[in-house]
Each structure stands twice: as C-alpha cells, then as structure tokens.
Amino acid sequence: MFTGIVEAVGIVEAVRSGGLEISAPALDDLSVGGSVSVSGACLSVTGLLDGGFAVDVVPETIRRTNLGRLRAGSSVNLERPVPAAGRLDGHIVQGHVDGTARITRTAPDGDSTILEMEMFPGLARYAVEKGFVAVDGVSLTIVDCGRNWLSVAIIPITAAATTLGGCRVGDEVNVEVDILAKYVERLAAPAP
C-alpha cells in the first residue's frame, strides 16, 4: 500500500523488453521482490543497479498505464510502500492503476495550477468533488468533476517535487480512483 506522497523523481535509464531500468539514488533501500510505485503503478523490483533498480512491466500494466510510452530519459514519480507502523499522509493508494486520462486544460489559480483531464471511459463515475484520486501516483483532491472529466489543483510543492509540475495539454497520466467507491458500487449492484 502507498500513500500517494511521492518520495523521489527517478529517470528511466533503459527500456528493455518487458521492463524498465530506473535511476533513483534517493531510494537506496529497495530490495529484490519488494514493491515500488512507478508513476502510480505498483511494480516488483527485479534487480538492483548502481544508483537504481529494474522492474518488469507486464502486458496488463502496459494496457492500463502510460508506462509503455516511457523512453530513456523520461521522469517517473517514485514511492516506497508505507510501513505498517508508518504515517498515512495522503490517501490509500494501491498502485493498481485503473486507466489513463488526458490533460485537456491547465490554468493558473493563485499559486497553484489547475489540471483538467478527460478520464479513461468509465472512471469519472468514481470522482466526487473534494474526494481524492491518484494521478501518476500523486495523492490529489478533486476540485471539480463531470461526466467524463475531473480537475485537480497542483500546489507549488507538488509541482516542484513530482512530474506533475511539467504536465502539458495532451499529456497522458495514470489514474487510480478511490478503491472504496469501487467496492460500494460492487456491493450495491444486484447479485449475479
């Protein structure tokens, strides 16, 4: 489990068949078999590298995320799992990306920036104003939402410490919606 509080921005050093090699000197205590959130996707560390790590990326992850479009030099948000006795600062993020969204508008709002995004089909129904969403692994409060879109505010510290500060119209981001909303929907549905 993650919190959506990004610990570091890593750089993709290599894209190999079925995986990525990422430099992340700040995350020096990762271990093979352990989990790491890479732009919101929970991946298992498959190898340790000098100043970084390797992960495998399976076809389902490629279908659901933007990880298949990463290239050497791409920046990614990184977070280690929260320890059982750790503080839950953001919200419950599983690292199970539900789909992607496309940035349709960016607008200054005081010191912050509003990002508006068109959601992957079927995901916007889980969004509620002042609810939360993980975008590229970052825990964010939903400012507003509609039938197929939502908007979030990126505060200056988030813009500086994550890849979201560099988002532009047309960029594709990974989205994980609130797991509780998905369970409520499933439990409220008639039994099959």
Residues with Cβ within 8 Å of 99's Cβ and at least 6 positions away in sequence, in order, are: 64, 119, 120, 121, 122, 123, 174, 175
- pLDDT, tens only, 56-78: 999 999 999 999 999 999 999 99
CA–CA dist 97, 84 (Å, integer): 22
Global confidence as pTM = 0.94
Q: Assign 55 a pLDDT band (cuts: 50, 70, 90).
A: very high
Taking alpha carbons only, the member of 117, 95, 115, 113 closest to residue 177 is 95
pLDDT digits (tens, 9 = 90+) for 1-17: 899 999 999 999 999 98
What amino acid is encoded at 133 in this protein? V
Q: Is the dihedral of CA 48, 49, 52, 58 positive or negative?
A: negative
CA end-to-end span of the chain: 30
Interatomic CA distance for residues 9 and 92, integer angstroms: 20
